[in-house]
Amino acid sequence: MAKIQPAILKIDIHGLTAQEAKEKVQEMVKKAPRNVQKIVVVHGYHNGTVLSEMVRRQIRSPRIVDIIPAVGNDGETVIWLKE
């Protein structure tokens, strides 16, 4: 039996309001296939921290294991999901 390889999704929320971005990210978390291990959220950082703070503080789901800043890129946050 073949094992399904873990997958990574990426979502760019530049230019969205915090509410629009929250809805879009939550929908992606909700609909992510079971083999998705992480979602990389690209929010940028040059125009403020509203989007990054929203992702790191307001996104909730039973599937989420952890939400952390991306290593080496202040403009991204990684959402780790349960398999």
Rounded to two decimals, the pTM is: 0.91
pLDDT(2) > 60: no
Phi, psi of 4 (to 5 degrees): -75, 130
pLDDT tens digit sequence for 33-53: 999 999 999 998 887 899 999
Query: Looking at the domain assignment, is residue 53 inside a domain?
Result: yes
* Region for residue 79 given its phi and psi (left: phi exceeds 0; alpha: psi -120 to 50; beta: otherwise): beta
The Cα-based distances of 40 to 14, 15, 46, 75 in angstroms read 13, 17, 18, 10
Total number of domains constituting the chain: 1
CATH number at residue 74: 3.30.1370.110
Higher model confidence: residue 46 or residue 20? 20
Q: Please give the residue range of the domain that contains residue 34.
A: 7-81
Query: Looking at the domain assignment, is residue 51 inside a domain?
Result: yes
Query: Looking at the domain assignment, is residue 2 inside a domain?
Result: no
